[in-house]
């Protein structure tokens, strides 16, 4: 066997799994998009999954959002006070909470709790051959299982984003007014100084996109789980890594769009 053949075989073996995974993921995305408009829509499953994702994501959201948002806004107020601009702290708090803190906290929670929970659920069903049994019975797993989970993840991510923004603004107000002695009227009055409807829209789009991608990644890895119980653990770990990488990349793109059409106005 020639050296060229050995190198080609080695490279194919290294690259092919990644290419297959990307192709399989996009195939799942297309099938999910088609199944989304198929009737009947699985409302009950969607509601149950929404509650399930909320139950595993709400506490981590609070645990991350409260110290993160308050600490950053508290530090920002210190910086503004050094320049004699403490009265516009509300503007900085609103811009940071709406455009970055809310969506980024949603990324961490949805990737670390929601998507991995979806992957573990579907992965367990896959190794128990429940998915194969559904296909034998003529039930489409994409329509029956994937679509409700993706829709639920999208809705929950949007709601979590709103919760984080609210926590950030309220926490910034409490710390700024009662600890750093910033004027309450000035804080509230400057909230909309540089944060308006475009920023809010971009924030909602970010969180909804993050939820959709996290749901799709979790469902794809869950349905392609192999290797028994150990394979489920591996799939969950891969889901977390893939979600964080994908969601932060998407955040860069959407933030650029937001700066162009929102804060850059």
| pLDDT per residue as tens digits for the range 78-123 | 887 777 777 788 888 888 888 888 888 887 888 888 889 899 999 9
Residue 194 to residue 192: CA distance in whole angstroms = 6
Range of the domain at 14: 3-263
Mean pLDDT, residues 195-221 taken together? 88
- Which residue from 185, 163, 164, 162 is spatially nearest to 173, judged by alpha carbons? 185
Average pLDDT, the chain: 83
Mean pLDDT, residues 225-231 taken together? 84
pLDDT band at 146 (very low <50, low <70, confident <90, very high): very high
Mean pLDDT, residues 215-219 taken together? 91
The reported pLDDT for the residue numbered 264 is: 45
The reported pLDDT for the residue numbered 6 is: 62
Domain count for the chain: 1
Mean pLDDT, residues 251-265 taken together? 70
The reported pLDDT for the residue numbered 216 is: 92
Write the CA distances from 107 to 34, 100, 103, 238, integer angstroms: 26, 10, 6, 16
The reported pLDDT for the residue numbered 167 is: 86
Percent of the chain with pLDDT over 70: 91
The reported pLDDT for the residue numbered 147 is: 93
């Amino acid at each position: 066997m020639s050296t060229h053949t050995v190198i080609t075989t080695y490279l194919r073996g290294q690259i092919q799994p990644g290419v297959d995974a990307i192709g399989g993921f996009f195939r799942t995305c297309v099938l999910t998009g088609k199944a989304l408009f198929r009737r009947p829509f699985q409302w009950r499953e969607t509601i149950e999954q929404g509650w399930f994702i909320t139950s595993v994501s709400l506490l981590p959201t609070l645990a991350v959002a409260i110290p993160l948002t308050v600490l950053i806004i508290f530090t920002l107020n210190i910086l503004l006070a050094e320049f004699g601009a403490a009265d516009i702290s509300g503007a900085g708090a609103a811009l940071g909470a709406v455009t970055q803190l809310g969506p980024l906290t949603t990324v961490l929670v949805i990737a670390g709790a929601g998507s991995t929970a979806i992957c573990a659920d579907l992965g367990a069903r896959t190794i128990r051959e429940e998915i194969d049994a559904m296909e034998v019975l003529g039930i489409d797993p994409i329509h029956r299982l994937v679509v409700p989970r993706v829709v639920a993840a999208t809705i929950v991510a949007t709601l979590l984003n709103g919760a984080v923004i609210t926590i950030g603004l309220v926490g910034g107000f409490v710390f700024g007014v009662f600890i750093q002695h910033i004027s309450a009227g000035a804080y509230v009055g400057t909230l909309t100084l540089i944060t308006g409807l475009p920023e809010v829209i971009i924030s909602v789009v970010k969180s909804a996109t993050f939820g959709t991608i996290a749901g799709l990644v979790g469902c794809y890895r869950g349905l392609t789980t192999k290797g028994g119980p150990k394979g489920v653990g591996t799939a969950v770990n891969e889901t977390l890594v893939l979600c964080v990488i994908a969601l932060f990349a998407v955040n860069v793109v959407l933030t650029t769009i937001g700066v162009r059409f929102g804060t850059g106005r």
